[in-house]
Structure 1
């Protein structure tokens, strides 16, 4: 058999973290990145560091065994498309070279042990490429042996620091007896605060508009909050409530919080203690979950065409290309729904803040499901979008897009958006506007509509056309009358004049 050709548009990033080793494999396709493989193994390398920062042979062995698995997958990827980075534990270990030399033989590839500052900047880049924040953003990543704290704007990290504390090292230090009590928690929080206090005043005076967590700890807390029917934003009150709930289990072995996965259980409490200290010391009000981190940052750095690009546009354009969406119709519905939104925005102020970009995104993507079949295409659209990563959109924005895509045609349910909690009202507004815009665009032609006016009076909408236009267009009149009944069924008033 001849040698297999490496796949030119496939990239791999390996991140040798202090808690887990990760391999991310992605394909550059339709102007975006498609993840085609992820392998993660808990190696807990940092647990092998002693007081003199010597890495134990057992910990090295766990790492080498994991890399032997990764090596098998790398052989089909061009060498220049592979980047391997190592972080805090291999920065700290005095015998890191012993590990690195054998690891490079196993992988057949060079390992870059990156500085804490470079790690912080790269994490920020990963977040910037997968979320959409126009202002200043605080990004926190709690790793196994270090915690990165960054303030950035756009794609640039402005303040960045790698702090010497992590969920594995703090587990070994403050929860070694595996007991869950106030004493252990408070010792860990106090120690973390001493580390953070050194940077706190600089960071607080720099300021930020939005805070994002890029670590497994933040994701684990979100999953616990979802299991308790709370919204997904972290606050100090919620963190302290989870700390108190954890203490009731008495030991880490017994810890069984609803929503907490088994693989996070061991390092969860030490990560939670560090996060509480960060919230207290930096006076963080609310925090969401970031879409990417170190691996994504490395990946986006490797591919030149992704540098400094409008992320949301890249996501939407990529999906439209992949699912062969009729671009003219998508833009027609987007323009019309934006026009309607502007007419009612004084009454429906929610649209002003976050609604317009979401409305436009849904309008451009609403026909993705047509690639499968027409009859229930809105359900196919919703299914595809729900199961697709959407860089540039937060988790809650992603949920609003999916809910609206599913409800943009056919039957509406009363209280159908209640499960979205604080986002239900915005989703209702966006859905009502997109439904009207889709009907008005049904001829799939430009310049076929007269001047029309949409007025909002509280929750009631009134649509009127000039010069009795509807009388000459009975199909459109009939579709709009049916829509009026649908909206009435959901408890909303829509009058067509």
Structure 2
């Protein structure tokens, strides 16, 4: 299939971005290029909200630089959208005409409701969060939405952003009095929306300031996993980052690990927005979404083809992307999954191990991606499987859930499992660590029953007597390789159930 590329240009108040996407086999979009320019168009607005000549020139020059990148790709479509600064400019018609005249690009100015809506759309189509509040703070506006059961309930745009809020401060590092005045101002505005108060749901943040907040938090904690999307923080984490930044000398602020230089002067007011909103909503957590307005615009475009604005299976689609990317064999996946289920039910029904529906869902998910690392190197498949799954963004999975998936799908033996889990040991209680190890052993054993990927073993029956588990493996054809591998691997399951296992391969 010919590769399909799509581009979007996002003209914000602080930054302008060009993002190019490749459309995947399943229809989802994969980011392949991301070009950022710090235009700070907001600073070119005069007292009458008129974008001056220098501002229009900055806009046009940046668009022309983006065109050089666009020429590299055979593009299906280019979308150019503008947000708060252009929307609020009194000469916006003149800006649109001038930009089109000099670049040939048609600029679409988003309304405040559209801007909020696209943020919501991006979040529900890239996470498994069904109910939550989104916040997207730009340079000149802040959008908030509330969605329930994945359906948008309310949306609002406040006419202040990180660039306008920094006017509360005389210097980059604010005084306690200036911080207090900003907090009072934010609380007053957020309280004008009754639907924000005391929701006790996740607060999902979008945009560059939110990404910087997360990057700083990860660096302060020496966070061991890669990736920002679906990273979780709490009230105290946001406060700790704020306290850390406000304790610094101005010259040290721009050198903070994880903080972009162009955001050094606006990060503190942005964090105050997140913290004030967290308190007003009584949020249960703060979660970053790397997918935002730009993604939302294209989700809407794709819906014209699919007929649905919401992807029904965010996680399943993301797992399917992995299956496609690493050339995993669907027939083998389904067979290993079938054998794993038979074994799971056998152990559960005979009371040999305490497992529940949640455990099966974990096991089923991991069975799709078991030994994915073979794609890179068969000899060190477990190591590659673990690293890839633990460190790759999987839409619909929070970081801790991604780690659980990696630990089960990469299981080789107890020693290797302990090696993989060591940096994250404090993340799990002892009982959960043991359960993850047992689920991994179970999956690895089932995988050995299809070692040659021929589906020779068609079924499993079992019986439990005389303190021993008897597994009868019904075969069609020679199962010698499967017998060798499973005899070698069964000791890990035996340790989990504290019973000896006897295997009987029957033609």
Answer whether TM exceeds 0.5 for this pair. Answer: yes
2:192 corresponds in structure 1 to 198
Match runs of 1:114-133 below 5 Å: 114-133=110-129
Q: Counterpart in 1 of 2:423?
A: 419
Structure 1 residues 362 and 262, CA gap change in structure 2 (3 angstroms): farther
Greater RCO between the two (CA within 8 Å, min separation 6)? 1
* Aligned counterpart, 2:9: 14
Instruction: Tell me which residue corresponds to 2:37.
Output: 41
* Superposed displacement of residue 149, structure 1: 0.9
Structure 1 residues 417 and 379, CA gap change in structure 2 (3 angstroms) = closer
Q: Is the 8 A contact 1:188 1:274 kept in 2?
A: no
TM-score (norm 2): 0.81
> 2 CA distance for matches of 1:281 and 1:260?
26
How far is the alpha carbon of 1:362 from its aligned partner? 2.3
Taking the aligned partners of 1:263 and 1:407, their CA distance within structure 2 comes to: 43
5 Å-filtered alignment, 1:156-235, equals 156-171=151-166, 173-199=167-193, 201-204=194-197, 207=199, 209-229=201-221, 233-235=232-234
Aligned length: 471
Kindly tell me: are residues 12 and 283 of structure 1, through their superposed partners in 2, closer, same or farther at Cα, counting changes over 3 Å? same
C-alpha change, 1:73 and 1:351, in structure 2 (3 Å) is farther
- Residues in 2 aligned to 1:392 and 1:373: alpha-carbon distance in whole angstroms: 27
Post-superposition shift, 1:96?
2.5
State the alpha-carbon separation in 2 of the partners of residues 357 and 466 from structure 1: 23
Structure 2 CA distance for partners of 1:234 and 1:52, relative to 1, 3 Å: farther
Which residue number in structure 2 is paired with residue 141 of structure 1? 136
| 1:256 Cα deviation from its structure 2 partner | 4.5
The answer to whether the Cα contact below 8 Å between 2:438 and 2:493 also exists between their aligned partners in 1 is no
Task: Check the 8 A contact 1:180/1:252 in 2, yes or no.
Answer: no
Q: Distance in 1 between matches of 2:449 and 2:441?
A: 15
Change (3 A) 1:336 1:8: closer
Say if 2:5 and 2:75, in contact at 8 Å, map to a contact too.
Answer: no
Is 1:311 matched up with 2:322? no
Q: 1:465 to 1:220 in 2, by over 3 A?
A: farther
Q: Deviation per CA, 1:277-315: give whole Å up to 9, x if none.
A: 212222223111124111111122222456433122222
Greater shift in the superposed pair: 119-128 or 64-73: 64-73
Distance 1:468 1:88 in 2: 65
Residues 324-363 of structure 1 correspond to what in structure 2 (within 5 A)? 324-337=327-340, 356-363=360-367
- In 2: Cα distance, 1:76 partner to 1:255 partner: 34
Residue 269 of structure 2 corresponds to 270
How far the C-alpha of 1:137 sits from its partner, in A, is: 1.9
Is the Cα contact below 8 Å between 1:12 and 1:299 reproduced in 2? no
Distance in 1 between residues matched to 2:251 and 2:56, nearest whole Å: 25
Could you tell me how far apart the structure 1 residues matched to 2:154 and 2:316 are?
27
How many Å apart are 1:351 and its aligned residue?
Answer: 6.8
Residues 338-395 of structure 1, C-alpha deviation per residue, up to 9 Å, x if partnerless? 5666766999999756x55443332102233333342222333344445644222233
- Cα contact 2:145–2:155 (8 A) shared by 1: yes
Q: Distance in 1 between matches of 2:247 and 2:236?
A: 17
Is 1:315–1:391's contact at 8 Å kept on the other side of the alignment? yes
Give the root-mean-square deviation of aligned CA atoms.
3.5
Looking at structure 2, the residues matched to 349 and 493 of structure 1 have their Cα atoms a distance apart, in angstroms, of: 9
The counterpart of 1:465, out of the listed 464, 467, 470, is 470
Task: Please tell me whether the aligned partners of residues 236 and 279 of structure 1 are also in contact (alpha carbons under 8 angstroms).
Answer: yes
Q: Does 1:451 align with 2:462?
A: yes
Range moving further from structure 2, 473-482 or 55-64: 473-482
What corresponds to 1:81 in structure 2? 77
- Contact between 1:332 and 1:441, CA under 8 Å: does it hold in 2? no
- Residues of 1 paired with 2:207 and 2:360: CA distance? 30
Contact 1:417 1:424 in 2 (8 A): no
SS in 2 for 1:131: coil
Alignment of 1:224-263 (within 5 A): 224-229=216-221, 233-251=232-250, 254=253, 256-263=255-262
With over 3 angstroms needed to count, the CA separation of the structure-2 counterparts of 1:164 and 1:433, relative to structure 1, is same
Q: Is residue 429 of structure 1 aligned with residue 429 of structure 2?
A: no
More moved, 230-239 vs 344-353? 344-353
1:117-173 per-position Cα deviation (integer Å, ceiling 9, x unaligned): 11111111111111112x3122111111111111124553221111122111112x1
Distance in structure 2 (CA, Å) of the matches to 1:146 and 1:348: 54
Contact 1:214 1:290 survives alignment (8 Å): yes
Secondary structure at the counterpart of residue 39 of structure 1: strand
Q: Which runs of 5+ in 1 are unaligned?
A: 1-6, 454-461
**Could you tell me whether the CA contact under 8 Å between 2:196 and 2:280 is conserved in 1?**
no
SS at match of 1:449: strand
Unaligned runs of 5+ in 2: 224-230, 475-479, 502-507
Contact kept? 2:353, 2:497, Cα under 8 Å: no
3-state DSSP of counterpart to 2:9 = strand
- For 1:347 and 1:179, the matched residues in 2 are separated by 61
